Amino acid sequence: MLRRRQAASVALPSRTVLEGIVGAVAAVKGVRRYSAYENDTDTTDGNGLPSHSIALVVEGGDAERIAQAIAAKKTPGAGTYGTTTTLIHDRYGIEHPIRFFRPVEVPVTVRIALNALAGYTSAVGQAIQQAVSEYVNARAIGEPLRAARLYVPANLNGQPDSETFDITALSIARPDAANARLEMPVAFNEAVHCAPSDVKLTVH
């Protein structure tokens, strides 16, 4: 988070408008995750952004303060795109709708089968669930989730307790999905989410 805030502060006096907007939004109190997209073409892009518009996806923070940050940095006439709309008044008292997205939460179920070895306890299992949950929830907005990447946190990042079990299988899926997947794609305005209880352990 510190590195992200440092990057945001550097972006405030940035060379591009979009970088400046991102820096201003990132500095809003309570903002946790964010992503930004720009369509500078004359046609709607693959994400559905209208021509000559920007779209920010912002998790956390007050909606009005986020909108004010966008309005203060964007160029006149530039369009904003999103499902959250806030009216901001300019210096002349004219209202301008500022739009952005809140991320759509994509729930993830992680299933892990493991063989318990000497020293394995239920506390180790809870630590696995917590580590996997934290890894999933730290993914960037719009970032797909890959099952192969979960082996490191599932093995407790090599901590001593990782010697008390062997993982034999690991899969990811949406809770209502019939089949497990190796990769879970997400849309540009989606973010994967996994509670510790969504990490299902089968211990042999």
pLDDT in tens, 88-125: 998 888 899 999 999 999 999 999 999 999 999 999 99
- CB distance 183 to 147 below 8 Å: yes
Mean pLDDT score, 50-78:
93
Domain positions in the chain:
2-100, 104-203
pLDDT (0 to 100) of residue 118: 97
pLDDT (0 to 100) of residue 166: 97
Side-by-side strand order, sheet with 33-39: 33-39, 53-59, 79-80
Q: What pTM did the predictor assign? A: 0.82
Query: What's the token pair of residue 177?
Result: 């999905």
Q: What is the largest CA-CA distance in the chain?
A: 72
Classify each residue of 21-49 as buried b or exposed e, where b means 16 or more C-beta atoms within 10 Å of its C-beta: bbbbbbbbeebebbbbbbbeeeeebeeeb
The neighbour count for residue 86, using CB atoms within 10 Å, is 20
The neighbour count for residue 196, using CB atoms within 10 Å, is 14
Mean pLDDT score, 39-66:
95
In 3-state terms, what secondary structure has residue 34?
strand
Confidence of residue 31 (pLDDT cuts 50, 70, 90): very high
pLDDT (0 to 100) of residue 178: 65
pLDDT (0 to 100) of residue 17: 87
Query: Over the chain, what is the mean pLDDT?
Result: 90
Dump pLDDT digits (tens) for 144-200.
999 999 999 999 999 999 999 999 999 999 877 666 778 888 999 999 999 999 999
Query: What's the token pair of residue 185?
Result: 């794609």
| pLDDT of 22 above 70 | yes
Mean pLDDT score, 26-52:
94
